[in-house]
Amino acid sequence: MPELRLNLITREWVIIATERAHRPDEFRRERSQHAALPVSHECPFCPGQEARTPDETYRDGDPWRVRAFPNKFSALSQQGEPRRLVTGLKRTVEGVGRHEVIVETPRHDGHLAFLSDAEFGPILSAY
């Protein structure tokens, strides 16, 4: 089961989820931050491929500008209760919660820094 661990020096919590090592990596590729890729029928995040993802939990617009759905390779478990555990200096909480994918634009291969205010507004609303 995933867990959250407290870094005693920085006081920050991090998620440890070894199960995520099994997620696919076929989408990794080198590309320029300015390059715009064409819509792909192979990419489950591109417009027209919505049936290839879990059911949406959020959608802005039709056609959509932003959409969200459960992550197939979640870093957290939706089963159980988040129990706190203390072992010596180690502080952990069982990793229970929701982990969703937010597709921030139909042109999701771009960079947020290059979006207009009109494109960025719906993304803020999604979060």
Give the tens place of pLDDT for each residue, 29-61: 555 555 667 788 889 999 999 999 999 999 999
Q: How far apart are the first and last CA of the chain?
A: 26
The pair of structure tokens assigned to 49 is 């491929």
Locate tokens 């005693």: which residue?
Answer: 8
CATH match of 3-20+38-126 with 3.30.428.10 = yes
Burial class (CB in 10 A: 0-12, 13-18, 19+), 53: middle
Give the pLDDT confidence of 52-108 residue by residue, as tens digits.
Answer: 999 999 999 999 999 999 999 999 999 999 899 999 999 999 999 999 999 999 987
Please state, in angstroms and rounded to a whole number, the distance separating the CA atoms of residues 63 and 94.
Answer: 38
